[in-house]
Amino acid sequence: MPILRSAFIALSRNRSLRSFCEHTSIGNKLSSRFVAGMDLEDALRVAASLNEQGIHVTLDSLGESVSSAEEAERAADIYHALLDAIAERKLDANISVKLTQMGLLLDPQLAEAIATNLAEHAKYVDNFVRIDMEDSPLTQVTMDIVRRVNARPDLRGAIGIVIQAYLYRSQIDIDRLIADGIRVRLCKGAYKEPPEVAFAHKVDVDANYVKLSKTLLSSPIYHGLATHDEKMIGAAKAFAARRNIAPSQFEFQMLYGVRRDLQRKLVAEGYNVRVYIPFGREWYPYFMRRLAERPANVLFLAKNLLRK
């Protein structure tokens, strides 16, 4: 399985395959397994329908590593439009943003300025910006930007971050973030990382996930536990029950199209559930990372394609 995982992660960076997939109708049909649609309206429609089922959402306008400042500004415009649409339609939704899409690799100051503008807008409409976490060379700069934005007294609480349990450094990062009052989404981590920085074995990642989720649950801040792993979810529920931490004090988060049964079950049990809804034409790298997590999805997709 780890070989397949690496293969899909390598494919996620293949430019020609990406271009082919994103520009063919068969590719776009495939993507609908994990992507809400190509346009903002598609995402808002899915958001409204999940809200009706008692599920909170976070919206991700797909795209990574832009190649010009204009492209970064255009990507940010979509998020500003989303914040306005969420407020107008009174949706229970926030936004998830990748700093590389905001120009981080071109100019960190540009990405920080865009993240600051988004946090200002979010504060104005009583909303929240989650900064997704990308691969490990970007962990420190992402931490620094989020902490600086949050340090502005008028923006406190308007921005949050993602921490990956596979990184050795994550306990220290989480302690810092909690001291700053920053909301964390804990996930296992979706990129290919070297053993110098990350646990290589699932059992170690899982053990760290449980440890870090206990740290988060014990803090007075509202955090998100992002996983589809019933063992991780079970451990968090048991810890919360033992410590009298009410279900209203944290949320579980899952990806659009993954374990819908579990999403509904948790809502019925009284837990907060937030679904991450990606949309847009640049779906390929996101999609390939989902296949990397569960290569069996390829069989599932192939069967569906043949059926239609």
Is residue 45 flagged as an active site residue?
no
Among 226, 236, 266, 301, binds ligand FDA (CB under 6 A): 226
x-or-dash string of contact with ligand FDA, 117-146, rule CB under 6 A: ---------------xx-------------
- Asked if 17 contacts 296 with a C-beta cutoff of 8 angstroms, the reply is no
Sign of CA dihedral 211, 254, 229, 2: negative
Q: Which is nearer to ligand FDA, 271 or 276 (CB)?
A: 276
Find the distance separating the first CA and the last CA of the chain, reported in whole Å.
Answer: 29
Tell me how far CA of residue 21 lies from CA of 15, 28, 257, 278, in angstroms. 10, 7, 19, 17
Residue of 128, 250, 276, 279 that binds ligand FDA (CB under 6 A) = 276
Compute the least distance from the CB of residue 49 to ligand FDA, in Å.
Answer: 18
Asked if 185 is an active-site residue, the reply is: yes
DSSP string, 102-163: GTTTT-HHHHHHHHHHHHHHHHHTT--EEEP---GGGHHHHHHHHHHHHHSGGGTTSEEEEE
Separation CA 174–CA 208 (nearest Å): 12
Which residue, 118 or 190, is less far from ligand FDA as judged by CB? 190
Is residue 293 close enough to count as binding ligand FDA by CB under 6 A?
Answer: yes
The yes or no reply on residue 61 touching ligand FDA (CB under 6 A) is no
Catalytic residue among 18, 130, 185, 290: 185
294 makes contact with ligand FDA (CB under 6 A): yes
Binds ligand FDA by CB under 6 A, chosen from 164, 170, 208, 263: 164
Active-site positions? 132, 185
**Using CB under 6 A as the criterion, which residues of the chain lie in contact with ligand FDA when the complex forms?**
132-133, 162, 164, 187-191, 226-229, 253-255, 258-259, 276, 290, 293-294, 297
